[in-house]
């Protein structure tokens, strides 16, 4: 079922101007829609804060700050913000609409990218961030979800919702705002954020583009945060052998845990990127990564979150020498190694060492002697058996023939050969052994190998003309996922049925890939102009055009007579689908206004007073008033009421 149909904003006219057409994305703080600016007749993106947050002044201020900040950036790689406003409980930003996808979509679909493609995306991202840094503020939430790639190849940075002035890089308490997988160590430990946190996040994004996966993973956010603080981001070549040394250096420089070692802003990192590109050969730039899609993706890690500092700041736990094991850490998850022993934020200095007694020293020497004895005995046992055991050699990624030769050279037999699909290993290469590589087994034992048949592929079915729900079900039956649904007018395909899929039917795709669907809105209908018509007449005209009619509950004052159509939405000339609804707002007649008394005033003063009150003015001079300049009488006496916009006649003498 198309979930966008359940969204109450779909089809509504926000702030009397923006007609909401479809939901594009949902985040932790706002939802983004595709909408039409009915005033300027252009498609744009509408970012609407969740109503539950709209009552929070802090989040509303952040929304407004985003609009003001991006308005200062006239840069081709920054998504522009056109307008900001409120409509009831809805707080929104009207932004540039970029038809295409996000970098997250690309990584999810393709996995690791060629170095040339990764740098081609990173450079415009850094150019956009560099403009922001030089303008005086920091993005603070860089991640693949905020990198938009247009159908025309343009790369743009979006979502400056957490933007903060560079001068405001002071420590915060209580919470940290951001996305767990891309937070710099100083954000986690101290809550500080200057331009170098964006540099760090871009380094993580580059690692993800080159390898198809994130550098740090964990069962809980606390474990990921701990790794950001205590573990270096590994070199990309550790995951994708063969990547150039310059790329490892680039990632290491950008993700240095010590912020002082990183480039000071995105402009400086961009210069490093261009130096690295110049040092790479064409073959290194076009190195083909393993055919692997990104690792199992947890959307929760990629949402912008308010992270309690209790998760971000490691705290030393008391160690009882008799009961040194702890059941869990924070939320009950296993405690990361080292958490209970060290903390860079420990406030209390360690106690001074105690002087040992002679008995304690003797006990220590006894323990050391015992350890040495065990070590010597163990060494002897290993030496005696070293001729009978060997390790399973590392043959993953080698061809089946190469793996057989390597196993034979190691004195091992080749056991059962299995085949399986794999996104990570090319067809015909070894993707697994039994026992695993490095396992010690007796010589002449057999090692089973599993050979990759390459990625499992399925054929996209022909979905044209099929009802949307049925098309989605069929994709799932074939091992594919329904992707983004967009709608367009079509003269021959029935409303609600599939016009085409992307990729088209018959195309081979990896199992689990997403297939985008374009659904018919039916034949287009030009909305007729029914303003000024009586309700029944307007209803008949709209129904004759194939449209449904809805009458707004409230009427408005207008120059039209009561009961006539004062306004309609969508307006005259708008193209909609057959069966769409047009909302009519009826007039309750003009507003009655008290007429000012202008008798005795000069003609100019009287005219100004009446027109300012909302009336039209007509002069009656007659023969005696041809050269007069004083109001002798008025058609509606001062203090009486008359319809707004009606004409008051002045007699001049």
Q: What is the set of active-site residues?
A: 141
| Residue 300 CB neighbours (<10 A) | 10
**Cβ pair 129, 266 in contact under 8 A:** yes
What is each CA distance from 241 to 106, 290, 437, in whole angstroms?
22, 9, 17
CA–CA gap between residue 110 and residue 386 (Å, rounded) = 45
Question: Is 589 strand, coil or helix?
Answer: coil
Classify the C-alpha dihedral 498-503-509-515 as positive or negative. negative
DSSP annotation of 72 reads: T
**Cβ pair 406, 434 in contact under 8 A:** no
Partners of 176 in beta bridges:
307
369: its two tokens = 């002697």
> Pick from 630, 644, 643, 645: which is nearest to 598 by CA?
630
Classify the C-alpha dihedral 268-160-194-28 as positive or negative. negative
**Cβ pair 26, 490 in contact under 8 A:** no
Tokens 């055991």, residue located? 389
431: its two tokens = 């993707």
Question: Is 268 strand, coil or helix?
Answer: helix
- Residue 94 CA neighbour count, 13 Å, CB half: 21
Question: Which runs of consecutive H residues, i.e. helices, occur in 111-177?
Answer: 115-135
> Pick from 483, 568, 470, 575: which is nearest to 522 by CA?
575
CA–CA gap between residue 359 and residue 161 (Å, rounded) = 65
Radius of gyration of the chain (CA): 35
**Cβ pair 465, 493 in contact under 8 A:** yes
């Amino acid at each position: 079922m198309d979930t966008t149909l359940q969204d109450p904003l779909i089809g509504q006219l926000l702030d009397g101007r923006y007609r909401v057409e479809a939901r594009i994305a949902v985040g932790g703080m706002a939802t983004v829609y595709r909408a039409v600016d009915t005033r300027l007749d252009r498609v744009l993106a509408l970012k609407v804060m969740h109503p539950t947050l709209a009552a929070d002044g802090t989040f509303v201020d952040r929304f407004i700050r985003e609009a003001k900040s991006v308005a200062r950036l006239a840069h081709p790689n920054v998504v522009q913000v056109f307008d900001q406003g409120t409509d009831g409980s809805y707080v929104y930003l009207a932004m540039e609409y970029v038809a295409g996808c996000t970098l997250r979509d690309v990584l999810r679909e393709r996995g690791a990218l060629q170095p040339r493609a990764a740098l081609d995306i990173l450079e415009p991202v850094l150019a956009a961030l560099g403009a922001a840094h030089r303008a005086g503020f920091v993005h603070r939430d860089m991640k693949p979800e905020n990198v938009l790639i247009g159908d025309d190849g343009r790369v743009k940075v979006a979502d400056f919702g957490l933007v903060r002035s560079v001068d405001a890089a002071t420590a915060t308490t209580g919470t940290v705002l951001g996305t767990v997988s891309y937070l710099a160590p100083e954000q986690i430990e101290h809550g500080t954020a200057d331009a170098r946190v964006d540099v760090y996040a871009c380094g993580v994004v580059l690692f993800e583009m080159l390898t198809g996966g994130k550098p740090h993973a964990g069962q809980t956010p606390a474990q990921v945060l701990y790794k950001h603080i205590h573990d270096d981001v590994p070199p990309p070549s550790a995951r994708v052998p063969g990547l150039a040394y310059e790329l490892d250096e680039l990632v290491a420089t950008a993700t240095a845990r010590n912020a002082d070692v990183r480039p000071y802003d995105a402009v400086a990192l961009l210069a490093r990127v261009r130096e690295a590109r110049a040092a790479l050969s064409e073959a290194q730039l076009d190195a083909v990564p393993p055919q692997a899609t990104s690792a199992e993706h947890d959307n929760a890690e990629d949402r912008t979150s308010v992270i309690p500092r209790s998760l971000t700041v490691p705290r030393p736990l008391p160690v009882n020498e008799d009961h040194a094991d702890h059941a869990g850490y924070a939320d009950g998850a296993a405690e990361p190694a080292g958490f209970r022993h060290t903390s860079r934020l420990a406030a209390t200095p360690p106690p001074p060492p105690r002087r040992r007694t002679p008995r304690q020293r003797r006990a220590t020497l006894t323990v050391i002697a015992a350890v040495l004895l065990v070590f010597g005995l163990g060494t002897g046992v290993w030496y005696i058996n070293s001729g009978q055991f060997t390790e399973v050699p590392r043959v993953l990624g080698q061809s089946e023939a190469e793996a057989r030769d390597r196993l034979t050279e190691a004195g091992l037999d080749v056991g059962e050969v299995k085949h399986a699909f794999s996104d990570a290993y090319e067809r015909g290469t070894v993707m697994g052994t039994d026992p695993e590589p490095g396992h010690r087994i007796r010589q002449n034992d057999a090692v089973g190998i599993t050979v990759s048949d390459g990625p499992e592929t399925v054929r996209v079915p022909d979905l044209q003309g099929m009802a949307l729900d049925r098309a989605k079900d069929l994709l799932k039956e074939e091992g594919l996922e329904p992707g983004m649904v967009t709608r367009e007018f079509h003269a021959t395909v029935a409303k609600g049925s599939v016009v085409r899929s992307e990729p088209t039917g018959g195309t081979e795709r990896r199992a689990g890939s997403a297939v985008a669907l374009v659904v018919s809105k039916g034949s287009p209908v030009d909305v007729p102009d029914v303003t000024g018509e009586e309700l029944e007449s307007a209803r008949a005209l709209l129904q004759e055009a194939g449209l449904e009619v809805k009458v707004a509950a409230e009427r408005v004052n207008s120059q039209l007579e009561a009961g006539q159509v004062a306004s309609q939405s969508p307006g005259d000339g708008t193209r909609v689908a057959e069966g769409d609804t047009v909302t009519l707002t009826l007039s309750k007649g003009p507003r009655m206004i008290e007429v000012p008394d202008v008798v005795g005033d000069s003609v100019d003063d009287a005219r100004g007073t009446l027109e300012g009150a909302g009336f039209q003015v007509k002069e009656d001079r007659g023969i005696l008033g041809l050269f007069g300049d004083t109001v002798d009488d008025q058609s509606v006496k001062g203090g009486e009421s008359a319809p707004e916009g009606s004409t008051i006649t002045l007699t001049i003498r």
